[in-house]
Amino acid sequence: MLNNDHPNKLYTVGDTVTFRYNNSLKKGVIFIVDKNGTFELPGITSYDIMVESENTLYKHITCDFIVSE
């Protein structure tokens, strides 16, 4: 399920967020903000989120997958 409550909310580097990834919830810190989008999704802000517990950087996570701050 996507979060449509705040689809245009902008987060900043250092914000801690919870997001959906492959039917599970992950908690991490915004590491990079791609405000201008990506080649696949131009104009749509996405985030690279570091999940320290997994030592993994999840890339190109859009706002609709972020479920809470």
Domain enclosing residue 21, as ranges: 16-68
The DSSP-derived string for 1-69 is ----SSTTPPP-TT-EEEEEETTEEEEEEEEEEETTB-SSSBT--EEEEEEGGGTEEEEEEEGGGEEE-
Asked, for residue 55, whether it belongs to a domain, the answer is: yes
Tens place of pLDDT per residue across the chain (69 aa): 344 455 557 899 999 999 999 999 999 999 999 888 778 878 888 999 999 999 999 999 998 899 987
Asked, for residue 4, whether it belongs to a domain, the answer is: no
Number of domains in the chain: 1
32 phi-psi bin (left φ>0, alpha ψ -120 to 50, beta other): beta
